[in-house]
Structure 1
């Protein structure tokens, strides 16, 4: 019976839609925030996956649409890699009877004590890099990739973010505490060397900055993280709708941990203790609201993870409109680097990227 149900979902998702493709309709819009990109689409590496969630009685169906999605065309995923790391950290900690997600820990050599729960809150509230790096030390590169590959997710997460030792193969031990006593310590692990990616467009641009000097050659991304749009979308589907996937493709979280994670994914910065002066409500909500710093409407719930680096803006979001009872999944990426120089902090985020993703999201969920 379960096999028949899954087949029905796949067939429904693959059926030809008689109505217009919603992505194509949006990209044909005269909205200047969209038209600016659509008229020069070849310059922006746009990839979009859009899924309508259809509920009929006790069944859930996916109706999928895509635009220029190509797992072989590389884009830098930036902080979107924090989504699978948060999930895998919860999956791993549940199997250790000595600790849980609320057990205090520090990375060896780091005086900051935190918890896995707190790290995850920081990741989704403001996309905190240090929080991600601590969970990366807990998991390790090989563990991360083996787990994701085993679930049928095509990706390669190879490094920490924004630190000098980002590509160190050896993870540092984590020390866990209860009542000021050490209750558990992870081992340092030496991971396998990072293999260069062999993908299209793996070298990019015409130059990049190193300190204050310009290197006049394309930038090589072959050793960097790889998390394509398809993988992000599949991770979100598996998290939000685990019952639609075989057991070996699911993330195995406790119901309490899964509920904690999903609720944390929609957290706003001020709800996590950050000031609104520095972190406005849409700070990490690129789709729908990324072009505004106004308070978000209460009836739109966005569970998401964004990424922003090297001129790439990416958002993977599960969106619920509580007024219309509609649900959507959107994963979209855009590149805005007109001068084709990397690391010069001269990207068109505010003038092109954020306006495009916000308008795209609004029109897709209307």
Structure 2
């Protein structure tokens, strides 16, 4: 697993950020301590509305590990839809009820879903919950449907060879070996079995790693271990790969065929709709908007702040993640009022005491305000940037009164 450094062809991004150093605060002043990495992509269109990209990097290094947390769920959503397409079975789609069998001592069965209109679990319902509120169980069910082996090999075949998806998220006391095991899954429609998938074991060999984070950590028995936590058995998704996975989902026509997920136009529309929606715009699931408020999963530009609502019609098509003090967001941001669009991804580590699993992270007071400021700086620049052709963003407009 080789380390790759991504340097900008010029100093534009650093110069832009440096001009707002006071606004960006301690994180930009001490980027190494905060493990800061940023990718900004400006987008220009030609006369036929075809997008062209210019990528700018700041401290992007695949050798500097960060825990990707829930950002891995974006790839899971695409891979689950891709698998449904690849199976090519009549009656099997994202709406088909999907039942997960019990895997003793590892993962329980799922036979119903009270968040769905018909109380039936399905790939589509899991994807909605992942993209609207970053639901952990929904990801785990897609992980089990895809299988650990296919999850990784499919991404490797697309060129993301540094990715390692090793485990379910949000669950403890499951060993790396147990995470190789995935549950049996059955799809039924109108009482008839449409597709059955047996339980599976991944035999995939992963490249060895030596990723350490923190200076101490609490183990599952709540005992303090006074040494860095070994993250070599944790999921790995470098920021540049996350950024490019996002690009392939937002702009499938603009990436090579080998990088493209095997999705239908309706699949992309569904993903774009769910990625840009807010929790209060969903009926199934219906969310308690006190907890899952406006901007709950919108960090870049919006800062995860409920009351942060720009006067312009701006949407973030994104997937964030937060855990172990790492805060990450990857977003395509579209302003339909001013006809502005750009991509921005960033990760930052906000854990002042260096202790993991103590829940003393600075997401709210340090991490989210930084991502908000970063997004605002890029957005403000984009509002002033001259474009030869005004982008037609109509394909990204949705009726948010209904999410199918």
What is the TM-score with the length of structure 1 in the denominator?
Answer: 0.90
Paired residues, what number? 348
Aligned match for 2:377, one of 352, 363, 366: 363
Contact (CA 8 Å) 2:13, 2:58: kept in 1 or not?
no
User: What secondary structure is seen at the aligned counterpart in 2 of 1:36?
Assistant: helix
Query: What are the superposed Cα offsets for residues 76-102 of structure 1, whole Å, 9 maximum, x if unpaired?
Result: 000000000100000110233141110
Q: CA RMSD, aligned part only?
A: 1.9
Query: What are the superposed Cα offsets for residues 159-186 of structure 1, whole Å, 9 maximum, x if unpaired?
Result: 1012243642111011111123333211
Instruction: Give the C-alpha shift of residue 206 in structure 1.
Output: 1.3
Q: Find the counterpart in structure 2 of residue 7 from structure 1.
A: none
Q: Find the counterpart in structure 2 of residue 140 from structure 1.
A: 147
Contact (CA 8 Å) 1:23, 1:65: kept in 2 or not?
no
Does residue 149 of structure 1 match 2:156? yes
Structure-2 change in CA distance of 1:15 and 1:193 (3 Å) = closer
Structure 1 portions without partners, runs of 5+: 1-13
Does residue 123 of structure 1 match 2:114? no
Does residue 274 of structure 1 match 2:265? no
User: What secondary structure is seen at the aligned counterpart in 2 of 1:95?
Assistant: helix
Q: Find the counterpart in structure 2 of residue 226 from structure 1.
A: 236
Q: Find the counterpart in structure 2 of residue 348 from structure 1.
A: 362
User: What secondary structure is seen at the aligned counterpart in 2 of 1:302?
Assistant: strand
Q: Find the counterpart in structure 1 of residue 392 from structure 2.
A: none
Query: What are the superposed Cα offsets for residues 261-303 of structure 1, whole Å, 9 maximum, x if unpaired?
Result: 1111111111222121111111100101115221634611110
Aligned match for 2:65, one of 64, 74, 80: 74
Deviating more after overlay: 276-285 vs 36-45: 36-45
Contact (CA 8 Å) 2:152, 2:165: kept in 1 or not?
yes
Instruction: Give the C-alpha shift of residue 23 in structure 1.
Output: 4.5
Contact (CA 8 Å) 1:79, 1:127: kept in 2 or not?
yes
Q: Find the counterpart in structure 2 of residue 172 from structure 1.
A: 183
Residues 95-134 of structure 1 aligned to structure 2 (within 5 Å): 95-96=86-87, 97-98=89-90, 99-109=92-102, 110=109, 111-112=111-112, 113-134=120-141
User: What secondary structure is seen at the aligned counterpart in 1 of 2:42?
Assistant: strand
Aligned match for 1:161, one of 151, 169, 172: 169
Contact (CA 8 Å) 1:171, 1:189: kept in 2 or not?
yes
In structure 1, how many angstroms separate the alpha carbons of the residues matched to 2:231 and 2:64? 12
Q: Find the counterpart in structure 2 of residue 312 from structure 1.
A: 326
Contact (CA 8 Å) 1:196, 1:223: kept in 2 or not?
no
Contact (CA 8 Å) 2:21, 2:29: kept in 1 or not?
no
In structure 1, how many angstroms separate the alpha carbons of the residues matched to 2:186 and 2:250? 32
Structure-2 change in CA distance of 1:291 and 1:249 (3 Å) = closer
Deviating more after overlay: 209-218 vs 330-339: 209-218
Q: Find the counterpart in structure 2 of residue 206 from structure 1.
A: 215
User: What secondary structure is seen at the aligned counterpart in 2 of 1:345?
Assistant: coil
User: What secondary structure is seen at the aligned counterpart in 1 of 2:86?
Assistant: coil
Does residue 61 of structure 1 match 2:52? yes
Aligned match for 2:268, one of 258, 269, 275: 258
Residues 282-361 of structure 1 aligned to structure 2 (within 5 Å): 282-294=295-307, 296-297=309-310, 299-361=313-375
Instruction: Give the C-alpha shift of residue 46 in structure 1.
Output: 0.3
Structure-2 change in CA distance of 1:137 and 1:29 (3 Å) = same
Contact (CA 8 Å) 2:147, 2:182: kept in 1 or not?
yes
Instruction: Give the C-alpha shift of residue 208 in structure 1.
Output: 0.2
In structure 1, how many angstroms separate the alpha carbons of the residues matched to 2:294 and 2:205? 37
Structure-2 change in CA distance of 1:323 and 1:31 (3 Å) = farther
Instruction: Give the C-alpha shift of residue 323 in structure 1.
Output: 2.0
Contact (CA 8 Å) 2:98, 2:121: kept in 1 or not?
yes
Structure 2 portions without partners, runs of 5+: 1-6, 103-108, 113-119, 381-404
Aligned match for 2:193, one of 159, 182, 200: 182
In structure 2, how many angstroms separate the alpha carbons of the residues matched to 1:203 and 1:36? 23
Instruction: Give the C-alpha shift of residue 198 in structure 1.
Output: 2.3
